Structure 1
């Protein structure tokens, strides 16, 4: 089984040979250029451990660190703003349910909310003075009374009560979220004139692409969802794609369509594992795909055996730095 990795460029079609072959993964005879769909390329070969040599770019993970990556609240990165959002507001507290706001980590990073603060146009108060990690896609509910909210929503675990509470206006207000160094993270507002029949419902953010100041971002919810996804949410997702070709491909050694090109594309905060399965669901070969790279498959199993002609599936497993997985699948056909 031979798999080749190509660094992709929109303007460059030729690539430099970077590694010699390893057991079961061999470069073309003599290591020379070969033709794929009439475009000359030179392969980036990989060894039996799916490792490229030190001259190539690789993504290294701190395998000796058991903690997920954490973005410090003191980071100067311009990407901080808008990554943790005010996603639901309950400003009209009752005897059995206190005021609360829900924060949602919209990013692929981890944040420590220690010494972060929230506030209104009147004042700003500390959320917590202890470590509070918020992972990708996680929620935390900030409330005036943790005991009352936990009693009403016993399944919600990530609830915090600040040392001091800044009350909300029942009709109109603007809420601010700041990092520990005073950087504005998010801003949201609401007005009773935006909603009909508003009594004791929560206000849910239904469009994460719009500003929290935009009326179109919010709607009333008869069933509040503190610490859980809102009923209807619109937001951007990272651009992930998988392309394969030619279809069918014919690894018969005649120099035409002998290799299947596999092109996964994904942002830098993702890794990709490419696995090829037979039509019967059995795994044929699997390899990690570097970012901005293409793979070529010669139609052999991992043990070097020839597979039978017929359909197969190429599955890309994309994993974000926060551990979220997304899958794309393409169907191919092998002829001989």
Structure 2
């Protein structure tokens, strides 16, 4: 009897592990998307054998929590298993939201709920075989990106980093850092407006282990009714040969239909082992860009007025949904609204840091007024006001060196010949929700003039249009600022910063302040006379 029992026990152990089972903590999502704590989870992966997870002890150490537990489930070789804080919410977010797990092919991995609490700023999750003592642990010590997981580069590796998957994590899938044989990734898209065309640069990287030569780059309009599908195809171009580890840049020029179009770029490659990184949704500027402008703002409220505010104007002919749009300064951005909000054509909309303080001062205001959840405090001594769409494209910006006294605002010109120029409001308090009345200069003898020739140039060393010449005629004697920004709002070149006198001309050869050659694209030249005029002009580097 004892002999039979012994053989039975050996049989059970062999069925459980079939030799050495390598179960690891493969991925952890502690910094859940949008602060939704119910979406915290961690993932197990088994690289060999068939593991009975009841023989493994799981431990979560995070914040004040130190929890140990066991789950009853099996995990086959090459499979994944997710332990979620809330399995119902996990299925809604990562599954098909049917209320049932494993009812569609994409839900082909294990899922179990446990009372875990994962702190963003640091913690550890470990798994230990209760018989062999073999342990796997994943440790994180910072928050990382919102909704972005910590993952092993390879299941057998101790290297841990942030997921680079477009969705932020890969539950039930191969980690984003794991090399696969065929993996051509669309890494970045850079759109710019070269009126009347839209120029888009695509950065494509072969992150796999196989050289590739048969891919195409396809561009579509986004079908807003079905975002996961593809709309009308705009173009298709061969990618060409891309050896493993190499990066190529493709540039296309397109004639789009609207001022701001939602597009989908797809690297089409048969048998790609990681299709998730082949697709990117983005917005691109077209004719009539920008559709919305920053029209007026108050950065230095005083006296009875205790509210900063920024006014937007829809200058397009269409209603625009502001859900997910952001307003910000030089350091931070904050979401305007997180629910659908249609901004009507030719309408104004005012954003403020305090509804109560604004309405106490502007008692007759009857327009659209919004207090965003977070507000980028505008510095009195100079700052940047930025408007960014949900895809990260900067729609408009204005830089200023100082705010005005006595509640005078910075305002944009409304007439056709001055709609790119800024000045001081005629009246204290400005004109929120109404057409601006702006004083551009107290020097009646002169008007600001900026000439750029050529506006589109190609600094490629061929001796033809390798530089552009900037000339400025400016009224007033205040400090003058002349700076250049890229299409993402980053400062790349400073020509003047507070100078009293301007040079006769400025020759720009397409390099940054450090002398680095800047990439092709659209650049914004910003000029300001302190307390008076300001203006923006575009310059394009082509090849």
TM-score, reference length from structure 2: 0.27
- Larger % of helix: which? 2
TM-score, reference length from structure 1: 0.42
**Which structure has the bigger radius of gyration?**
2
